[in-house]
């Protein structure tokens, strides 16, 4: 027997933001095919020069990604959803902490998500619900070179 469920797609996302989310997902879906060590290396390059994302900006990016992709809004779309969210934030000059890991309570389940300001963005779970296995946090802020 299956459990009926309904996915909610955000409808308040403006058209230009939806286009940017589609572009982010066009890049995110091929990235899901990479092995973890290569994916981490690619994301580490992409995050360079970005400032840490605020919770509000990361949440808006996540809503935009879910608005344009029913798959990403679903329970099995966590990897492309998290990648699309991080990339959409990067288009705006910021970067959330991208994470993959597992639930700390049984049953075992892998998951990917983004964090901002030290907490998971719009996951609907307590902050310590997931154990992190792989993260790509915002890089150090670029140093200003002293003038000669």
Would you give per-residue pLDDT tens digits along the chain (148 residues)? 444 455 667 778 889 999 999 999 999 999 999 999 999 999 999 999 999 999 999 999 999 999 999 899 888 899 999 999 999 999 999 999 999 999 988 888 999 999 999 999 998 888 888 999 999 999 865 555 555 5
Q: What is the DSSP letter of 106?
A: S
The pLDDT value given to residue 36: 93
CB atoms closer than 10 angstroms to residue 48: 12
The alpha carbon torsion through 71, 75, 80, 85 (nearest 10 deg) reads: 100
Task: Identify each DSSP E strand in the chain by its residue range.
Answer: 51-52, 94-95, 97-103, 110-116, 119-120, 130-136
The pLDDT value given to residue 143: 56
Handedness of CA 101, 54, 38, 70 (dihedral sign): positive
Q: What pTM did the predictor assign?
A: 0.87
Inter-residue long-range contacts of 38-41, CB under 8 Å, 24+ positions, other chains counted: 40/134, 40/136
Give, to the nearest 10 degrees, the angle between helix 78-91 and helix 15-31.
120
The pLDDT value given to residue 7: 64
The pLDDT value given to residue 12: 83
The pLDDT value given to residue 1: 43
């Amino acid at each position: 027997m299956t459990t009926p469920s309904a996915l909610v797609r955000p409808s308040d996302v403006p058209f230009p933001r939806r286009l940017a989310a589609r572009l982010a997902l066009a890049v995110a879906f091929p990235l899901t095919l990479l092995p973890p060590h290569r994916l981490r290396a690619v994301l580490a390059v992409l995050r360079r020069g970005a400032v840490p994302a605020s919770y509000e900006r990361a949440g808006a990016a996540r809503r935009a990604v879910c608005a344009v992709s029913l798959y990403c809004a679903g329970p099995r779309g966590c990897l492309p959803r998290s990648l699309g969210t991080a990339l959409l934030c990067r288009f705006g000059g910021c970067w959330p902490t991208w994470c993959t890991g597992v639930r700390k309570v049984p049953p075992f389940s892998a998951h990917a998500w983004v964090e901002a300001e030290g907490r998971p963005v719009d996951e609907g779970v307590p902050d310590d619900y997931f154990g992190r296995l792989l993260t790509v946090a915002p890089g150090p802020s670029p140093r200003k070179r002293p003038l000669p």
